[in-house]
Each structure stands twice: as structure tokens, then as C-alpha cells.
Amino acid sequence: MRIWLRQGFIEVDGNIPASTAVRVAPASVRIQGEKLDHPQGLTLIFHKPVGCICSRKEEGRLVYDYLPEQWMLREPKLSCVGRLDMDTSGLLILTDDGQLNHRLTAPNRKVPKHYLVRLDRSLQGNETEIFASGALLLDGEQTPCLPAILNVHDAMEAELIITEGRYHQIRRMFAAIGNHVVALQRSRIGGLSLDGLSPEEYRIIDKDALLDGVFSTDQA
């Protein structure tokens, strides 16, 4: 950065600053005449395809591989808001705003997450009641799942709405009642939907619009 400054590449409001120690508004900075890339921060919605992972630390194709390469170098880092597992597709929010991330994922917010589930075996008819009971225990856990809403579409397909984010929760909920999920897609987070995004596509979204979407009760 100092070298760039000495070479006159950096301007703030049209002037070359005296040192790198000066605090400036990111939107007023130009580097070789160009504005910074999203100087106020970056938040986006992404239609995650199956076959990629949300973690940066694991091997394999990452969700970040679908985004512009230079965004991997951003500080603060762009992070997933909650995770979808490798074989799950659908709506994923990414942001570099830690507070926003916390606001969307804090357990007390109980943001409803909607999933479309395709099953290996036919539904028996008692699943809606079991999931709504708040008594379903997942393998290896001591605390039952919070009540969840199951909307049955047909014998092998349903929508499940949960307000928690336990590890592989939907797959484990069906495993706990002797079924198996063969395809899983998150279609909605609160009132926010994929809104026409195709798999692998992303859209930058204003933070306030995102919050309005997630916390709106109008889920048309």
C-alpha cells in the first residue's frame, strides 16, 4: 500500500494522501483512477448448486469458486450465513458483515428456513405430527429438535420448515424416523426466496433489502 501511495496510484477525493495512517471513507478512494470494488461491503444471495462446500478449509469445490476471484482476497472476508452441505442446493446468503451474519443466524431469532425434500421411501402420514411435537431426538443429541412444520406435497416429496441450524439437520430428522433424503433444496430463508436465480447464479443485495426480505412476514 505504501509503495502505491509513493507512486501516486492512490487518491482520496482527488488528492494524494500524505500517509497510509489517515482514516478515509472507502467510497472516496481511487486506485489508478478506479473506484474500490464494493467499498461499503458486500452481501449477496447465491443459488448454491449441489457438489460444492461452504467451508474454506476443506478440500474440493467451494461456493467461493463461483464468485469473482478477487473477492477471495477481501478483508473482512466474505462468509456464508449458515451452511448448506455439499449435496444440498438452494438459497445461500454470503456477507462480509459479521453483525449481519450474527443477526441472521442467532438462535434466538428463530428465522424459518424452508427446504424442499425428496425422499427415498413413502411418507407414512405421522411425520407432520412427529416433527411438530418438539420431541424428536436426533442421533447422538440430548436436546430434542424445536417444532418444525412439514407440508406434504406427495408421498415422496414435502417442504420442511425449521428454525434451527443443526448439523445436517433435515437429513438427520428424516433418518430419525426411518426415511432417507435423496434430494434437498433450501428454497427460502424467512421471506427471502431464490427469486428466479438459477443454480450457480448470484445477486448482490443491499443489506436493508435483505433484512426486509428475511424478516418480512409477507411470503408471497
Residue 89 touches ligand URA, criterion: CB under 6 A: no
Residue 114 touches ligand URA, criterion: CB under 6 A: no
Phi, psi of 32 (to 5 degrees): 50, 45
Number of C-beta neighbours around residue 190 at 10 A = 22
Residue from 5, 28, 71, 85 touching ligand URA (CB under 6 A): that is 85
Could you tell me how many residues make up the chain?
220
* CA gap 217, 220 in Å, rounded: 9
Q: Which stretch binds ligand URA (CB under 6 A): 5-13, 16-24, 82-90, 206-214?
A: 82-90
Q: Name the nearest CA neighbour of 82 among 162, 198, 200, 180.
A: 162
Phi, psi of 165 (to 5 degrees): -145, 55
Residue 47 touches ligand URA, criterion: CB under 6 A: no
* CA gap 72, 62 in Å, rounded: 11
Residue 188 touches ligand URA, criterion: CB under 6 A: no
Residue 88 touches ligand URA, criterion: CB under 6 A: yes
Number of C-beta neighbours around residue 30 at 10 A = 14
Q: Which stretch binds ligand URA (CB under 6 A): 22-30, 70-78, 101-109, 167-175?
A: 167-175
Give the nearest distance from C-beta 1 to ligand URA in angstroms.
39
Considering the candidates 13, 37, 65, 85, report the single residue annotated as catalytic: 85
Whether residue 211 contacts residue 188, with contact meaning beta carbons closer than 8 Å, is answered with no
Is residue 85 part of the annotated active site? The answer reads yes
Give the nearest distance from C-beta 93 to ligand URA in angstroms.
13
Residue 54 touches ligand URA, criterion: CB under 6 A: no
Number of C-beta neighbours around residue 93 at 10 A = 22
Catalytic residue numbers, as ranges: 85
Binding residues for ligand URA (CB under 6 A): 84-85, 88, 168-171, 184
